[in-house]
Amino acid sequence: QVQLVESGGGLVQLGGSLRLSCAASGGIFSIGIMGWYRQAPGKERELVATITSGGSTNFADSVKGRFTISRDNAKNTVYLQMNSLKPEDTAVYYCNANIGKTSWAFDNYWGQGTQVTVSS
């Protein structure tokens, strides 16, 4: 039913930019906090950035000043703008969202992941 579909990943050179998007669909009543996580090969999944329904943002120290997170509530979509990319940003990026199918019940959902590779 509810799905998070990511797009925008790819291969980019050091210093380049990419914009990831994640669109939620399927019987959505409302969406609370949304965020992006990433997982490098052999590493644990880590928080990249979050954004609340009111627009308050939080970033990992490693991406602060380079990445921005935004959302379009009318489109049920969250974005991650990645600038000044470094090889250490290489990872699979996952979208996450707290979604309510009704006014009284929220569940947590994950996207399928999209690969971001930064070459030096």
CB 2 within 8 A of CB 27: yes
What is the mean predicted confidence (pLDDT) over 110-116? 98
Mean pLDDT, residues 42-69: 97
Place of tokens 């329904």: 53
Taking residues 57-61, what's their average pLDDT? 98
Contacts 24+ apart (CB under 8 A), 46-49: 48/80, 48/93, 49/80
pLDDT at 24 over 90: yes
Rounded to an integer, the average pLDDT of 71-78 is 96
Enter the DSSP assignment of 87.
G
Picking from 74, 75, 40, the residue whose alpha carbon sits closest to that of residue 60 is 40
